[in-house]
Amino acid sequence: MMYNALPEILAPAGDRSCFLAAVAAGADATYMGLKNFSARAGAENFSIADIAAMVDLANQHGRKVYVAFNSLLKGSDLGAAGRLIYRLQRDAQPHALIIQDIGLIDIARQAGYTGELHLSTLSNIACMQDVRAAYALGIRRVVLPRELSIDEIRLMDQNAPEDMNFEMFIHGALCWCVSGRCYWSSYLGGKSGLRGRCVQPCRRMYQQKGNEGRFFSCQDLSLDVLVKTLVEIPHIRSLKIEGRKKGPHYVYHTAAAYRLLLDSLGTEDWPHAKKDAEMLLEMALGRPVTRARFLPQKNAEISTPQASTSSGLLVGKIQFEKNPASDLPFIKPRQELLPKDLLRIGYEDEPWHDTVPVTRRVPKAGTCRLKLAKGRSPKAGVPVFLIDRREPGLMEILDEWGEKLDACRKVHSLAVDWAPSLPKRRSTVKRLPDQHVAASLPRGKETRPSRTMVTGLWMSMNAVSAVSKTVMPHICWWLPPVIWPEETDAWGRLILRARRAGSTMFVCNAPWQHAFFQPGASLPDVHLTAGPFCNVANPASVALLARMGFEAAFASPELSSEDYLELPRKSILPLGMVLSGYWPVGISRFGLNQVKPNTPFFSPKGEAFWARNYGSNLWIYPAWPLDISTHKQELESAGYAFFARLDENLPRTMPPVRRTSAFNWNGALL
């Protein structure tokens, strides 16, 4: 088969050595973060001067550099974010910015950025309507969710505008929750995945009725030879490797493997290239791998609860001397260890978890003593993994490319005086009815119109069918936080049915869902509110929502009290917030593995959760509800125009509710 222009290989760069590994392995593009506003705050990340040199090297060799600016922005972040983008454009000119927050679409252009804007997978572009809505805002590349099958990707391709292109992950870590729809880390302690601070509670041990396991800890995605199917899809223009917190060994081996696969397509070398690429990927020191949902006819396991899903190669287990001359633990490695190799002790949720560098060469079955951080005392038998290598051959290659980078353009990026231009807030904001939001109407009851309260219902076929035409105009329908490609037509028909029956009020839980509401001569006008899952946290996002046709917006539930109270002062739309009820810590498309729905399961700290299916998605709820209702008067004084309470029917076996959560109200959204 003859192939058209191949998609690019896009490799991660969490530090200088990883960038060098990516270009040395033949990656067409690299993506990296700045010190701020990156969705991988744990990576080393770069200064503007660093990026300027890397862009220079990339241009010399026909490569590209993308800067990940994919963090949720609070109102106080807008000025700093705009100034960074201004300096990026002036001093570095990266080829694209990868953004999550829709407010950055306007802020980036105001700051003079002329490169491409790519919507991150955190923006949740999950179906054809989403793509069209993003396209109308001038976006020409979106990063697709990892949960899509090849059939769904083809469906999106067939319905995409001609000059829209897709970027998709082909290798690396999977999250159990949908990107942009996970609040687990934030709800448990203010460290938000939407701001690059996730502490990965999904990788912990959980327990349900005596069954214990890492039920939500995913294997790594690996499409390897299946990339052959992707090059035939016209709008797939970028194949992305995850891993900005990984080392150069991983980056080099994964990028080299996929370079080998793409370059051998359609040649007689393909069979040999497949074997060599698979060998390179096995050497990359990642986790056990899965195809996830990519092949719809196969139910791939996403997690293996009783097995390790940690990255790295098992090289030994902790031992201690019987008659200790030294109290340091040691291992007898199963293979040779090299200076600067990196070892991981145990698993992330264990008290002795640590990473330690190897300081000298240790032969196979030799003795490698481990000097751990103070307070880390592993037990005998704890596994030790090799998670990064510094083999001499790779280091020579990196040194060679490092000399080329050192010879590149040097800049001294000076500070700039810049402030965003935002629409002025209206002098008065109309008070809107509060909403009581339930999954369904109470049995045998229908809502009555009220001046102070609106009945909100999560939209579904059953819920729409249960509401009479008399009541329909008084219902506010809440759309789900994510709609998948295979569901798009069904949701379009359901929304149209509700509108024809007299519904005019809808809450969209992704900004792009407004594309479902096209005007019609025989249809009443609709009133759209941007829901809390739109993750609105700054006035620039609100301004863009207003331009898209929204009449009101919910603020992100993650904000601190300071952020909440500041936001209405600069918002051009009436703002609301979820004041109480059961807020999900995560939404997933992956099925449960060894966990029963509607039955409590417990974290190592005794925290209770439960899982419930709504449509094709699985929602995870904490057993303790959100409640900041005591601050309602303070919020009204700050300018909030309406509030919502989210009701859920708790499973009968749930333990008694002994506390509530203020989410991040009393802390800070880090």
Give DSSP secondary structure letters for 324-351.
-S----EE--SS-B-TT-EEEES-TTST
Q: Is 2 or 359 the better-scoring residue by pLDDT?
A: 359
Kindly indicate the confidence band of residue 454, based on its pLDDT and cuts at 50, 70 and 90: confident
Kindly indicate the confidence band of residue 540, based on its pLDDT and cuts at 50, 70 and 90: very high
| Amino acid identity at 8 | E
Using a 10 angstrom Cβ sphere, with 0-12 exposed, 13-18 middle and 19 or more buried, the burial of residue 278 is: middle
Q: Please report the pLDDT score of residue 4 as a whole number.
A: 61
Q: Please report the pLDDT score of residue 1 as a whole number.
A: 46
Kindly indicate the confidence band of residue 345, based on its pLDDT and cuts at 50, 70 and 90: very high
388 close to 247: Cβ distance less than 8 angstroms: yes
CA distance to 104, 188, 408, 512, 541, per residue, from 112 (Å)? 12, 38, 24, 25, 18
Q: Please report the pLDDT score of residue 2 as a whole number.
A: 46
Q: Is the pLDDT of residue 17 over 90?
A: yes
Q: Is the pLDDT of residue 50 over 90?
A: yes
- CA–CA gap between residue 391 and residue 400 (Å, rounded): 15
Domains annotated on the chain, with CATH: 8-172+220-298 (3.20.20.70), 309-389 (2.40.30.10), 434-646 (3.20.20)
Cα 383 from chain centroid?
Answer: 29
531 close to 507: Cβ distance less than 8 angstroms: yes
Q: Is the dihedral of CA 198, 204, 208, 209 positive or negative?
A: negative
Tell me the pLDDT of the chain averaged across its residues: 92
Kindly indicate the confidence band of residue 42, based on its pLDDT and cuts at 50, 70 and 90: low
Kindly indicate the confidence band of residue 73, based on its pLDDT and cuts at 50, 70 and 90: very high
Mean pLDDT of 490-496: 96
Q: Is the pLDDT of residue 325 over 70?
A: no
Residue whose pair of structure tokens reads 């989410």 in the numeric block = 663
Mean pLDDT of 194-198: 92
Q: Please report the pLDDT score of residue 62 as a whole number.
A: 97
Kindly indicate the confidence band of residue 448, based on its pLDDT and cuts at 50, 70 and 90: low
- CA–CA gap between residue 28 and residue 9 (Å, rounded): 5
Give 243-290 pLDDT, tens digit per residue.
Answer: 999 999 999 999 999 999 999 999 999 999 999 999 999 999 999 999
Give 406-418 pLDDT, tens digit per residue.
Answer: 999 999 999 999 9
Q: Is the pLDDT of residue 328 over 70?
A: yes
Lowest-confidence pick of 164-178, 453-467, 618-632: 453-467
DSSP assigned state of 190: S
Give 347-357 pLDDT, tens digit per residue.
Answer: 888 889 999 99
Lowest-confidence pick of 162-166, 368-372, 530-534, 557-561: 368-372
Q: Please report the pLDDT score of residue 670 as a whole number.
A: 76
Percent of the chain with pLDDT over 90: 83
Strands 96-99 and 116-119, by their bridges, are: parallel
- CA–CA gap between residue 242 and residue 228 (Å, rounded): 19
Count of beta carbons in the 10 Å neighbourhood of residue 91: 18
Q: Is the pLDDT of residue 327 over 90?
A: no
Give 76-120 pLDDT, tens digit per residue.
Answer: 999 999 999 999 999 999 999 999 999 999 999 999 999 999 999
Using a 10 angstrom Cβ sphere, with 0-12 exposed, 13-18 middle and 19 or more buried, the burial of residue 661 is: middle
- Taking Cα atoms as reference points, which of 563, 591, 568, 626 lies closest to residue 195? 563
Mean pLDDT of 661-665: 95
